[in-house]
C-alpha cells in the first residue's frame, strides 16, 4: 500500500519554512524524556502536512485532494450514501462541510486527515501531545 501523504511531505524541506516553524525541539518530550528518531520523523512529517494544507493550500480541501492525485492517488473513496446512509447521519448534519452530489460525498472532503501508522506502544500519544504543544506555541 502506498502512503500518499508520506510521499507528498517527503518532498518538503524545513529550510523553506519560516523560522518559527523551524525552531521546534523535535528531540525532547520533557526534561527527562527524549524521542526516538522515528518519533521525531513522525512529528516533522505531521508539521509538513499541516503546513501544506493550511499555508500552501489555504485549507482548501479540493486543492489538497488535487495534490494527492498529482502524486498517483487514483482510488475512489467517495462516501456512497446509497450504501451507507444509516452511518452518515452525523455527516449529513454538516451539509456545508460535507456536500452531497449524486448521493455521494466526495473523498476530497475527508482528505484533510492524517494518521500515524506505528506499532502499539511506539509513542503515538507522545507524538500527538508534542504536536499539540507545537501548535499551541
Which tens digits make up the pLDDT trace of 50-84? 989 998 999 999 999 999 898 888 888 898 888 86
130: closest CA among 51, 47, 43?
43
- Say if 95 falls within a structural domain: no
Pairing of strands 104-105, 100-101: antiparallel
Residue 102: DSSP 8-state: T
Q: Report how far residue 37's alpha carbon sits from residue 44's, in angstroms, rounded to the nearest whole number.
A: 10
- Say if 44 falls within a structural domain: yes
* Average pLDDT of the chain to the nearest whole number: 87
Question: Given 3-state DSSP classes, what are the helix, strand and coil percentages for the chain, each rounded to the nearest 5?
Answer: 50, 10, 40
pLDDT band at 26 (very low <50, low <70, confident <90, very high): confident
E strand or H helix at 119, and its extent?
none
Q: What does the pLDDT look like over 29-43, one tens digit per residue? A: 888 999 999 999 999
- Say if 77 falls within a structural domain: no
Q: Report how far residue 24's alpha carbon sits from residue 17's, in angstroms, rounded to the nearest whole number.
A: 12
- Say if 48 falls within a structural domain: yes
- Say if 106 falls within a structural domain: no
Q: How many domains does the chain have?
A: 1
pLDDT at 36: 93
Look up the domain containing 6 and give its range: 1-59+115-137
- Say if 98 falls within a structural domain: no
Amino acid at each position: 500500500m502506498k502512503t500518499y501523504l508520506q510521499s507528498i511531505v517527503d518532498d518538503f524541506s524545513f529550510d523553506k519554512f519560516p523560522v518559527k516553524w523551524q525552531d521546534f525541539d523535535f528531540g525532547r518530550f520533557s526534561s527527562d524524556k527524549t524521542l526516538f528518531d522515528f518519533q521525531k520523523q513522525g512529528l516533522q512529517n505531521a508539521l509538513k502536512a499541516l503546513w501544506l494544507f493550511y499555508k500552501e493550500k489555504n485549507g482548501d480541501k479540493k486543492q489538497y485532494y488535487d495534490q494527492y492525485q498529482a502524486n498517483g492517488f487514483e482510488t475512489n473513496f467517495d462516501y456512497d450514501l446509497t450504501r451507507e446512509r444509516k452511518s452518515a447521519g452525523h455527516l449529513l448534519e454538516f451539509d456545508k462541510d460535507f456536500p452531497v452530489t449524486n448521493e455521494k460525498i466526495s473523498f476530497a472532503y475527508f482528505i484533510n486527515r492524517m494518521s500515524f501508522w506505528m506499532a502499539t506502544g511506539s509513542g503515538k500519544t507522545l507524538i500527538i501531545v508534542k504536536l499539540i504543544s507545537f501548535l499551541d506555541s
